[in-house]
Amino acid sequence: MAATALDPDRLPQHIGIIMDGNGRWAQKRGLPRTAGHAAGAETFRTIAYRCRDLGIPYLTVYAFSTENWKRPMEEVSAIMGLLRKYLLEALEKMERDGFRIHFFGDLAPLPPELRELCLETQSAGQAVAGAKYQINVCLNYGGRDEILRAIRAWGKDCQAGRQDPETLDEEAFARYLDSRGLPDPDLVIRPSGELRLSNFLPWQSAYAELYFTDVLWPDFTPEVLDQALLAYQGRKRRFGGI
Ligand code: IPE
Ligand code: IPE
Ligand code: MG
């Protein structure tokens, strides 16, 4: 059966991806888990360019969760090292490639050098004139932590008289989230066969279409992305209506 073509007018504007399965990919090959993370980072680059080439303006990727600190120190360090490498590359190329990079998550507990690099990358991106594509990297991100940080900031604003609990609505609250100002994800993709969200964008994904695939993240190709997009285009989004 010939694959149906993607409709360029009905692509999601914002895709979220839980980049999972790096460890199992490595294990299957008898390699250390860190080799899986290195392969997964390459996949991230490929998929980011594919989203850009399709004209999808927002891509949010889950790179490191608030729970991932439970892993062995060597694995955490290897992931941080990879982030450093790809951010340095992004700093160099984002202007040419038309990307902007943002971070979701609490950057405070990161190694200071990496945190500085994140902030530098983020502000360099803001300065890129006409960048049409934004990548949000979720780093030390947890949806519950994001909501708690938002509530703390909002509570302080209430104490200072800048906010009033009586007038808080969804739109006002969303301005305290890491995703402030951005559209909600239309499509959330999780590779690796796990059927859960693992604390990824719980507020923002309330009405996202979910797509799960058994493909492990390092094996995820532009063709797999196309399959997810085709599935998305076959869905009927109702948002509670009829
Ligand atoms: C996702 O791959 C990357 C991170 C969580 C940092 P995993 O490392 O979770 O891979 P699996 O799930 O163990 O295969
Ligand atoms: C989610 O994957 C986090 C990232 C992909 C960064 P995990 O591998 O940490 O999730 P669980 O533990 O399987 O739920
Ligand atoms: Mg995993």
CA 93-99-104 angle, 5° bins? 115
227 pocket-lining for ligand 2 (C-beta < 6 Å):
no
What is the largest distance, in Å, between two alpha-carbon atoms of the chain? 63
Q: Are 5 and 50 in contact (CB under 8 A)?
A: no
Asked if 111 and 80 count as a contact pair (C-beta separation under 8 A), the reply is: yes
pLDDT digits (tens, 9 = 90+) for 136-180: 999 999 999 999 999 999 999 999 999 999 999 999 999 999 999
In one letter, which amino acid is 43?
Answer: T
pLDDT of residue 1: 45
Q: What value does the mean pLDDT of the chain take? A: 96
> How far apart are alpha carbons 105 and 142 in whole angstroms?
7
Active site residue 68: yes
Per annotation, catalytic residue among 68, 97, 145, 219: 68
Confidence of residue 4 (pLDDT cuts 50, 70, 90): confident
Shortest-distance Cα residue to atom 8 of ligand 1: 23
Phi first, then psi, for residue 176 (nearest 5°) are -95, -5
* Terminal-to-terminal C-alpha distance of the chain: 32
Please report the atom of ligand 1 found closest to the CA of residue 27: 14
**Is the distance from CB of 100 to CB of 128 less than 8 angstroms?**
yes
Residues measured by CB to lie within 5 Å of ligand 3, the ion = 20
Query: Does residue 133 line the site of ligand 2, with CB under 6 A?
Result: no
Reported as a single tens digit per residue, the pLDDT across 188-217 is 999 999 999 999 999 999 999 999 999 999
**C-alpha atoms less than 13 angstroms from C-alpha of 78 in its C-beta half-sphere:** 17
d(CA 98, CA 84): 20
If one residue of 17, 18, 24 were mutated to test the ligand 1 pocket, choosing by the most ligand atoms within 8 A of its CB, it would be 24
The residue whose CB lies within 8 Å of the most ligand 1 atoms, and thus the one to mutate among 140, 141, 192, 214, is 192
Ligand 2 pocket, residue 194 CB under 6 Å:
yes
Provide, rounded to the nearest whole percent, the portion of the chain with pLDDT above 70.
Answer: 99
Q: Where are the beta strands (DSSP E) in 66-174?
A: 99-104, 133-141
CA of 23 to the centre of ligand 1 (A): 5
Catalytic residue among 7, 9, 20, 136: 20
Secondary structure class of 186 (helix, strand, coil): coil
Structure tokens at 240: 């509670």
Written as one letter, the residue type at 18 is: I
Ligand 2 centre and the CA of 200: distance in Å? 9
Q: Taking a C-beta distance cutoff of 8 angstroms, is the pair 143, 65 a contact?
A: no
